[in-house]
Structure 1
Amino acid sequence: MTFELFLQHLANGISLGSLYALIAIGYTMVYGILRLINFAHGDVVMLGAYAAFYGAALLVLPWYIAFPLAILITAGIGVVIERVAYKPLREYPRINLFTAAVAVSFLIENLGIVIFGGRPFAFTRPGFMDVNLSVGKTSIISYTPFIVITAGVLFAVLLYLVNKTKAGMAMRALSKDIETTGLVGVNTDRIIMYTFALGSALAAAGGILWAIKFPQINPLMGVMPGLKAFIAAVLGGIGNIPGAMIGGFVLGISEILIVAFLPNLSGYRDAFAFAILILLLLFRPNGIMGEVQAEKV
């Protein structure tokens, strides 16, 4: 493999890792506070992509309006899911919340098939994202740097919100001890709602960028990205936001480079991700940056 071809694969791996990281953050934020694996999160990714698709195709909105509007709508849907499906079960055993998350996932997928239809739709990229760019002898399509730059901006905004705002401080406090944080006057219900909105917004952004990179959408499109983002979250340390980012990039880059160096194994690309999960749980169950946390009951 030439150095130029390696750089091209590396760029593809970084863009794929950016998508995994964006989606993984939603998993890790919700788990950090509620100790809930929100398996409906991958389907929120799909809803974000469809919202952007219909905003551009049906309402004929320009992409720079349709995409942010889709993110806002999906953030609202995330809040509705939390209010309707998860909030009434917070005081019950964790298995009840887990079961509700699986049920919500299947409900969204099947509603998607009924409402959107089972036939895939082509997702049209804005014209400037389909330009071939040459960096030396390396050629990449312009959507690759767009994905990476957009994800980087969203990561920076997220880290600012979590580390520099009162709501972010409350989120971090809830992740340590939700009961004690509530006793000192923090509105825990509002912060949980804020967490779901923020995580769903990032999932929507990930779904839109995923549809830009792989320009076809269908009601089940969020299943595999959601599962792999969950692996990325576990890889980085579930409950740790920087860890989720690192896990996403490690998984995305590894996945692309394994296929690049061993093309005969390209059919096992998804299996490789799950093999990482199994090995991780065996040898480092807390992930790269994870900490041992007491299970909430």
Structure 2
Amino acid sequence: MNFDFFFNNLPELTITGLAFGAIYALIALGYTMVYGVLQLINFAHSEVFMYGTFATFWVITAFNAADASGIGLIAILIAALVASMAMSATIALILERVAYRPLIKRNAPRLVALISAIGASFVLAELMGLRDRVAEFFGAGDALDKYVSAARINNSIAGAIDKPRFDLLGISISSIDIIVIVSAVAMMVLLDQFVRRSKLGKGIRATAQDPETASLMGVNPTRTVQMTFLIGGLMAGVAAFLYMLKIDVTRYDIGFLLGVKAFTAAVLGGIGNLRGALLGGLVLGVAENWGQALFGSEWRDVVAFVLLVLILLFRPTGLLGESLGKARA
């Protein structure tokens, strides 16, 4: 164990871990909201996030952000954020309409919905991995070459965005880490207040607590489920944009591991609890970054999932105490 490196760099490791954790938390919101309303795990949500990363990549590539600066660069980043949110929200709505709504109307067993989500996850990932073939099929391969080439390997925006660092009380901090953490917490607070105070948010909570009574009181269950997927998709789009700012690289299967970690964060905090998703994500991000510093980078994922096992052994309801069987949005 590298204790000297760990203690000498503890503040920097913690801030970087919080940045990763903030991304996990934003993705986890999609899992926790769908579970709160439908009592189902949407395993295709990881691909909702993945499509958002590609939307960011395409916008930054199309507008050549590496040659932009000042107001121009800010405009490109705003366009990338909007595109990422729109892409992820669209995929989430398509997912709800195709993979979930028909099963819900037929009162299909939850296991069937779970299998449908897993199947949709593979379909969405492979479609992105075959986008060059799709473009060629429609005769647009040459025109879209820089967007569809290298379909099954890494696609990077490295160097397109500067990542200045600054010193604060002797601690070297990346400006991107601060942007990621502040943005994620702000989005979390806005979503929490929206769900608690707005009419739609009250409908979501009512459906999560008692769908039949909520329906009798005038809440449209189909619209509520649709809006739950939409909100989860929007948050995944924000997470995808922030992820690309920090990591620079995406690929067609990137959603798998990040999706599993986001699901871990949701369970860690108490699935069905919005604030639990934030807490679980931050704890997970810090824990795995500390573990990486102590044991080596190859142990990063091991530490994350060992933490999950320990939490479930000693506190099965998650850190904020929501029962998995009575989870609420």
1:151 alignment partner, SS class = helix
Q: Is the 8 A contact 1:4 1:138 kept in 2?
A: no
Distance 1:271 1:104 in 2: 27
Match of 2:79 in 1: 65
SS at match of 1:196: helix
* Partner SS for 2:9: helix
| Structure 1 stretches lacking a partner, 5+ long | none
The equivalent residue for 2:56 is 52
Q: Residue 124 of structure 1: CA displacement?
A: 4.4
SS of equivalent residue, structure 1 residue 130: coil
In structure 2, the partner of 1:132 is: 165
Q: Which residue of 1 aligns with 2:115?
A: 99
Establish whether residue 84 from structure 1 lines up as the match of residue 98 from structure 2.
yes
Farther off after superposition, 75-84 or 118-127? 118-127
Identity %: 36
Counterpart in 2 of 1:118?
A: 152
Query: Shift of the alpha carbon at 1:153?
Result: 1.7
Q: Does 1:16 align with 2:50?
A: no
Moved more, 205-214 or 276-285: 276-285
TM-score if structure 2 supplies the norm length?
0.84
Structure 1: distance between partners of 2:241 and 2:80? 10
Give 1:23 deviation, angstroms: 0.7
Distance (whole Å) between structure 2 residues aligned to residue 290 and residue 59 of structure 1 = 46
Matched-pair contact (CA < 8 Å) for 2:43–2:118: yes
Give the CA RMSD over aligned residues. Answer: 1.9
Check 1:283–1:151 CA distance in 2 against 1; reply closer, same or farther (3 A cut): same
- Which of these residues, 207, 218, 225, is aligned with residue 185 of structure 1? 218
> What's 2:272 paired with?
239
CA separation in 1, counterparts of 2:187 and 2:246?
Answer: 17
Match of 2:31 among 21, 27, 34: 27
Query: Higher mean Cα deviation, 266-275 or 278-287?
Result: 278-287
Cross-structure match for 1:161: 194
Q: Which runs of 5+ in 2 are unaligned?
A: 65-74, 132-147
Q: CA deviation at 1:4?
A: 6.3
Find the counterpart in structure 1 of residue 252 from structure 2: 219
- Partner residue of 1:194? 227
Structure 1 runs of 4+ aligned residues shifted over 3 Å read 1-4, 124-127, 293-296
Across the two proteins, how many residue pairs are aligned to each other?
Answer: 293
Do the aligned residues in 1 keep the contact of 2:17 with 2:282 (CA within 8 Å)? yes
Deviation digits for residues 43-85 of structure 1 (CA, Å, limit 9, x no counterpart): 1111001011112213667111221122023212211110111
Structure number with bigger Rg: 2
Instruction: Give the superposition deviation at 1:285.
Output: 1.9
